[in-house]
Structure 1
Amino acid sequence: MRALIGFALLSFSLAVPAAGQDVSLRGLGRFDGWRENALIGYGLVTGLAGSGDTRRSAVTRQALRNVLSRLGTTVSDDQISSRNVAVVMVIATLPASANVGDRIDATISSIGDARSLAGGTLLMTPMLGPDQRPYALAQGALVAGGYSFESELNQQQRNYPTTALLQGGATVETAVDAHILKPDGQLSFLLSDPGFETAQRIADAINNRFGIGSATAKSADEVKVRYAGDPAQLTTFLAQIEAISVRPDSAPRVVVNERTGTIVAGGDVQISSVAISQGDIKITIKAENIASQPGYFSGFASDVRSLVVTNTKLDVEEGVGDTVVRFPNTTVADLVQGLSRAHVNTRRMISILQAIKTAGALHADIIVQ
């Protein structure tokens, strides 16, 4: 049986890892200045069927009074007792380039003691940027991904009904545009996965396309690009750069998730010659309590009690499916396939990979999630 396993492992160790592929620059990074912007707002949700904030929420009563006063209605604090209103926070993401009238999604979450936002409607809420300027207005009916019902101490809840989505319910009121071209006439291309070799390959590819001196690899995560053309043709120039394809240098990494038993590794992650011994030792401890009853005594004696005796039995059982295998210089992909043929489960594979890394035979970083 072990001979068959060794033959299977040897056959898998002869596998050839797949070669890297060229990737366009739009998939490797972004230009400095091209980024999304966070928006936040504070508003009210109405139309809730008794699942809104209670009277204990003074913030809700104050916000409702402010809204009614702007609409020409004056009410006192004692006159507000409805549970159909909830105070919420509204967040959204403004694209790097947006025009007036564009619609974006917004997420609404309760900050009071409301039980559910299902069926509610968000009143007009200004969406502010980091500079405290309003960039969008959010308003409309909410879509909650859950529900919560309660009656006579019985409650049924699904997901989180205190968070809802306002799809396309925020309208952009201030146009924004990314500023990519620096005053000195240079662009900065930022790599998503920094690497010196990848940055140099990007610079070489741009120089081959637009001429020597057009690009310089400044660091592992930034490539400087010089642009001396017409600013009106900048969009065309950027599109041509994003269409350039290079072969990125993949960092040797092994990502493991112990909770789900998942292993993800590049096909070319190398492992030096190593021997693996995988076996089980099963230890079982059994405790048995026995009560020793005293014999019969005539009359009653307060100092006579039962005696409880505990007997402990320890069993040690060695696994019958122990496996000892040897791997020549190979890759993580071949190792995992070989261990699968040896019926080693995923969680044990993770322990084996960590032990190989500790032994210095795994030439990659192990990232545990």
Structure 2
Amino acid sequence: MNQRTPTLLYIDDDDALARLVDRGLTRRGYRVVHAASGEEGLEHIRRAGAQDSIESGIDVVALDQYMPGLDGLETLEQIMAIPGAPPVVFVTASQDSSIAVTALKAGAADYLVKDVKGDFIPLLHVAAEGALRQAELQNAREEAEAEIHASRDRYAALAAEREMLLREVNHRVGNSLQIIASLLHLQASSAGQEEVKAALTNAMGRVAAVAQVHRRLYTSQDLKSVVLNQYLDSLLEDLRRSAEGNRMSRLTLKAEPIEIDPDRAVAVGIIVNELVMNAVKYAYPDGAGPIHVELTLQGENLLLAIADDGVGDNVKADPRSTGMGQRIVAAMATKLDASVERDPAHSGTRIFLRFPRIPVAPGKSNSAAAS
């Protein structure tokens, strides 16, 4: 209950009974305001609601049923229509229970039967106390719900801002990496030595693998995952436009639309780049030939295969090779928890990796793909 003296508005056309209510409730710590009609009571409530000072407010209303002009039920209906209206205890001399039901359905907090001698005043005090407690609980509940809604709104706003910032970061990183890949492509195209051209093309592919992930993230509605078939398709298109592109005219892709997190997508892209470039360099010594990239879902695992129809085990070791590509593939395979195997039954060379899918969890935090 409020620390200040609560105010009860008693609406009843019986002046003598109103004085009894005033004396009885004043002794019990209330300030009583009397209104002789429904219209006058409504005016008190509206005026109190418009006051700046809480001292002039109406905390609870006791409303008689039978009055000239607006009766109790009509007055109750209008009180309930006032924003922030105080709780109402409906008072009547009638023993008809249907009136109580009607009043309670109309919004009354409580109901009691009065008598002309004022013996009901202790019951009115109890009812007023209960109505005040009920109103306080209702107000507390509404404030809590409002705070919950406000918190949700704040969270939604922060989440939207975070998503916008992540999208902008991915956009800028993707653009920067694409510029680097383009510079490497230009440098590779103008290189006179084949080993330099190959090294620059390899580097371009590695950068492009990371850049494509960021491009996928900022153009997608989902910042937490990358769809692998779309990603690999764009990555292979980058390779076809590279300095070694004339040897990749028969580079094909068969991949399912599988979603994984950005970090693992980068690992897949770099592995594809290394193995494709390895096939370009060694599978067809006399020119170009088919190179196939395939990604399929097998139960809880993903199977990634890069195959060619070239010379296979007859390839001669290149004395200029540093083994960098193999080390990169091994490192990325470790990141994917993947096994790397050669298919002995394939006529050319077929390298395949099997690794767990690990579905992207809803709400998972998206970390920027690291190069």
What is the TM-score when the length of structure 1 is the normalising length? 0.19
Higher helix share: 2
Higher strand share: 1
Indicate the structure whose relative CO is greater, using CA pairs within 8 Å and at least 6 residues apart: 1
What is the TM-score when the length of structure 2 is the normalising length? 0.19
